Structure 1
Amino acid sequence: MGWGLSLAAACLIAQGAAADGLARVKKDGALYHYAGQVQLSGSYDYSRDENAMSAVGDQFCFSPDKGSARKIPRERGDDRDRWFCFENDKQARTMLEVDKLLKDKRVCSLRGKATIEVDHYIADLTDGTEANDTARLLRVVRLAPAKTTPFVKDTQHCRE
């Protein structure tokens, strides 16, 4: 049985880029699909700021810290920053305990630290778009409460 697992792992890795628990299993146009799970530490964030909404839209995202960033695979020539938004956005907001904060219309943005486990990582390398990578949040290992920033009065911009 051990040989079968080793052979399967070798086949996954032979298909493409791999990084600490994630291995490319499929390429669909500009989308690169990765199998496996990975634990990451870093910052989760969400912003209703006008500029953020035009760039990322209504998505809840995560940026791994420097030590965890190397766990996110990159294809040859892909030098983008390593961050992603949660494909299971609604569940991620609940799991990271921010859904109640986001009901407050005075909150412009929020940010907190966490250690999480994700799978189903998809890198979107579509040229000329504001596309971003996605992953499914499986579990929150450690969580620090989010810090919020209010709107600047009568604007759609966050206070600095």
Structure 2
Amino acid sequence: MSDDLESPVDLGALGNFAGYHLRRAAVAFAANFANAMQTTKIRQVQFGIMSVIAANPGMNQGTVGRALGIQRANMVTLINELVDRDLVARNGSVGDRRVVSLSLTTAGEAALADCITHIVPHEEAMLAHLDAHEREQLIVLLDRIAAVGA
């Protein structure tokens, strides 16, 4: 048996499972994303949180966590990290002191904009072989799959 890395390997039944191909694509995307974001010091999950907060100022951390599929205990730690870095601010409610809403700080807005300048070329490189319609279709299909697991 040859160890020739150039020869394709028959994956057997594995090659027929969408989950296998999704995992391979996710691993490739995550590695490329981490490389693209290296200079920002922002992790993918932190970017996601900041993006949702920017789009929904005043949202509480529980709602942000549910939107991103992040467990409540993990959200506390993640928000604390972002607050400690002065990227996110916790704002108390005038009517109910128990309610804490989130917003990006000025530094957080700048960091989010910087992240986007790194992510756009990453996405372009990873999806270069897909046309605009295929990219839109891919997102729709992935969202449909994610909805089943939610």
- Scaled by the length of structure 1, what TM-score is found? 0.28
Higher RCO (Cα < 8 Å, 6 or more apart)? 1
- From the CA coordinates, give the structure whose radius of gyration is larger: 2
Report which of the two has the higher share of strand: 1
Report which of the two has the higher share of helix: 2
